[in-house]
A and B are shown apart, each in its own frame.
Chain A
Amino acid sequence: MAELPQRQTDIGPPHYEQFLPPVIKKNYGKWIYHEELGPGYMVHVAESGDRVWTVRVASPRLLSTDTIKEICDIADKHCDGYLRFTTRNNIEFMVDDESKVEPLMKELKEKGYMIGGIGSRISNVVHTQGWVHCHSAATDASGIVKALMDELHEYFTSKDLQARVRLAVACCVNMCGAVHCSDIAIVGVHKTPPRIEHERLRNLCEIPSTVASCPTSAISPDPQKKSVKIKLEKCMYCGNCYSVCPSMPIADPKNDGVAIVVGGKVSNMRSHPMFSKLAIPWLPNNPPRWPEVVDAVRKILDAYIADARKHERVGEWIERIGWEKFFKLTNLEFKLQHVDDFTFARETWRMAATFKW
């Protein structure tokens, strides 16, 4: 193999300043206001009078180097060789003159990029790895996102909603993507504990580290079998043990599926940040397009669109109308699983005699 360059350690990331478009660098910290000019298009105005126009496009997050080079070509041609990504994995192209916007948008459209995601609409879906890269996945993430956004794309590119609706998908209860504070989120759930393959476990796994891997202390040694046992009532199907010991598979195609949680937000605007709460405890995995899941999200979104007030986030809408009415308007069944018996359970019980029929 060819000689490798000298490696360096602990150098940290490169300084961001070298990556700033000149108009951003010049007006850093000196912006006075911005305006949304369209679903994927906004302008920021600086004290100096300078302006920067931003065009936002969707991305599947999983990008090939070929696509990255293609967006680099676009940025070279229109944006002096700079671009950025957003927290939600959108791609943003910035130009310093209004006359540059039209040709940029034209080329993006011609190349099939989806412009949108700014303002009171659905932006890109925050999601995790799923079957593309993770061993604890109870569902896929990219597949659900694609199926969902094919259905809801108009809320990215054109249609207005009452407020932002943030969607997220996590493929297991570890919830790498912070789906616990999204307007509508989908989370992969296992319904069954890991199966212990005692024969293999003996040779393959180190018992102390397997026992230690369980966050709820459900696993203990089983000296007789030279293996381990699981206290079933303690197991919360997190899959940690499988990370450490491959002889404890947790995936179960018939019972793995997804739950839908709603009403979370991280913004402090108007109301405090909110956790997402359970709307649907389980829907089946039906790749490639998860029709049950897409339908359910559509149903919840439609009820929100029909009933929410302007500027109201999903969680604010539900707090105003009450959860009992949410279940009625969305036509979702309220099940035993909806009643909390976990750490914060009693905070969620209704300690008042007032509710709606």
Chain B
Amino acid sequence: MGTKHKTPLLDDLEKGPFPSFVTEIKKAAEHSEYAQDLLGQLELSFKEKVTHWKHGGIVGVRGYGSGVIGRYSDVPEEFPGVAHFHTLRVNSPSGFFYSTKALREICEVWDKYGSGLTNMHGSTGDIILLGTKTENLEPVFAELSSRGWDLGGSGSAVRTPSCCVGQARCEWSNIDTMAITHDITHHYQDEMHRPAFPYKFKFKVAGCAIDCIASIARADMSIIGTWKGDIQIDQDEVKAYAAAGMDIQKEIVELCPTGCMSWDGSELKINNEDCNRCMHCIAKMAKALRPGPEKGATILLGSKAPIVTGALMSWVIVPFMKMEPPYEEFYDLVDRIWEWWDEYGKNRERIGELIERLGFPRFLKEVGIEPHPAMVKEPRRDPFFFWSEEDIEK
């Protein structure tokens, strides 16, 4: 096997220092006809500058409405190995840690039933098993689920939640991102596997405002760790940074967005009341500064890519929530939001778009969230606001 198709354009991408995806496909092609024909079809795409995939009927595993992305070649006669090339989204463990034993097991199943190609990971955070035939979907699912693996979300469902490495290996994490993500994922198995929403819903959990998981940009609900109270300062370590050549005035004090720090050459002062917890000083002086004592999360809602009405980033709906098991306050909030979305959301309308369409004040009122200045950058500029019955004197 291996050289069924000539692939001069792709071969060029085996040169150069960065690891090559073409080499990966060729490795798989040594033992997989899927991968062989994928090479052939991809070469054709490179030559013609056009994709050769099409969407087909809905495929999946019994009892689930999600977890499989159906894919068919539009040139199946030429490349029968990829006539069907469906992808399984396998729910990754929180934090993307693996034992080699577990990874090898997944590989074994995938070598037996699929292309031998994966994405570690897809953009949402699933283990992507890239390419198999319809009749292999059930066997792959049986083999994987009997070993403790389940499928992730796709379609109008809860998508596989994901998180930053959090407390497993980051000193800045204000919340246990991995535990929270694991809990959310298990809490919403039905909502994940049986799409019943107007559209997709993503959770992403970051331990601090640095947001290594990009939750503010790509989760319908972004859970971002934060704190209350004073940043803990170790003045000796601050001096050590200065002694090691850091220009504390220029690199820390002057870059603080709120202008709440000062440095007289021996003592660093922070006016914590003015700090907005941006993480700059803490990240640049990890040994000297640590987040304040009372930990929790800010909950933000609504981000999405530009389609259809423009990109949104999530915005604050709960300034501070303790995120401790069993997360009752959190789940209660999610349920209320979903109920509202379910009631008013149009087909393919993300929660952020719905709030834009019906208004943020209406959302707050009907979902039962008290307004707070942290929710806005500034109050409205116009005088066109409404009152409800109870505000009017009769």
Task: List the interface of chain A (C-beta within 8 A of B).
Answer: 1, 4-16, 18-21, 24, 28-29, 31-35, 44, 52, 54, 58-69, 72-73, 75-76, 81-87, 89, 91, 94, 112-114, 126, 128, 130-137, 140, 142-143, 145-147, 149-150, 153, 156, 173-178, 180-181, 212, 215-216, 236, 238, 242-244, 246, 251-253, 256, 264, 266-271, 273, 275, 285, 287-289, 310-311, 342-344
CA distance A207 to B388 in the complex (A): 43
Known A65-B116, A270-B280, A271-B257; contact A31-B19, beta-carbon cutoff 8 A: no
Q: Does any Cβ of A come within 8 Å of B340's Cβ? A: no
Are A266 and B217 neighbours in the complex by a CB distance under 8 Å?
yes
Known A269-B279, A343-B309; contact A176-B139, beta-carbon cutoff 8 A: no
CB A155 to nearest CB in B, in angstroms, measures 11
Taking a contact as CB atoms closer than 8 A, the residue among A13, A58, A76 that contacts B19 in the complex is A58
Name B20-79 residues within 8 Å CB distance of A.
Answer: 20-22, 24-25, 27-28, 30, 35, 38, 42, 45-56, 63-64, 69, 71, 74
Chain A residues near B53 (CB, 8 Å)? 131, 133-135, 137
- Which of B96, B193, B217 is most buried by chain A, counting CB atoms within 10 A of its CB? B217
Chain B residues near A135 (CB, 8 Å)? 51, 53-55, 71
Are B21 and A287 neighbours in the complex by a CB distance under 8 Å?
no
CB A192 to nearest CB in B, in angstroms, measures 12
Chain B residues bordering chain A, tally (CB within 8 A): 127
Chain B residues near A177 (CB, 8 Å)? 123
Are B210 and A267 neighbours in the complex by a CB distance under 8 Å?
yes
Chain A residues near B98 (CB, 8 Å)? 19, 82-85
Q: Does any Cβ of A come within 8 Å of B373's Cβ? A: no
Taking a contact as CB atoms closer than 8 A, the residue among B18, B91, B119, B311 that contacts A63 in the complex is B119
Name B74-109 residues within 8 Å CB distance of A.
Answer: 74, 85, 87, 91-104, 107
Are B168 and A65 neighbours in the complex by a CB distance under 8 Å?
no
Task: List the interface of chain B (C-beta within 8 A of A).
Answer: 9-10, 12-13, 15-22, 24-25, 27-28, 30, 35, 38, 42, 45-56, 63-64, 69, 71, 74, 85, 87, 91-104, 107, 110-111, 116-121, 123, 125, 130-131, 138-139, 141-143, 145-150, 162, 164-165, 167-171, 173, 176, 178, 182, 185-186, 189-190, 193, 209-218, 251, 255-257, 277-280, 283-284, 286-287, 290, 305-311, 313, 347-348
CB B183 to nearest CB in A, in angstroms, measures 10
Are A9 and B193 neighbours in the complex by a CB distance under 8 Å?
yes
Chain A residues near B51 (CB, 8 Å)? 130-131, 134-137, 251
Can you name 5 A-B pairs with beta carbons within 8 Å?
Answer: A7-B146, A12-B185, A132-B130, A246-B56, A264-B217
Taking a contact as CB atoms closer than 8 A, the residue among B56, B100, B143, B145 that contacts A9 in the complex is B145
Are B217 and A114 neighbours in the complex by a CB distance under 8 Å?
no
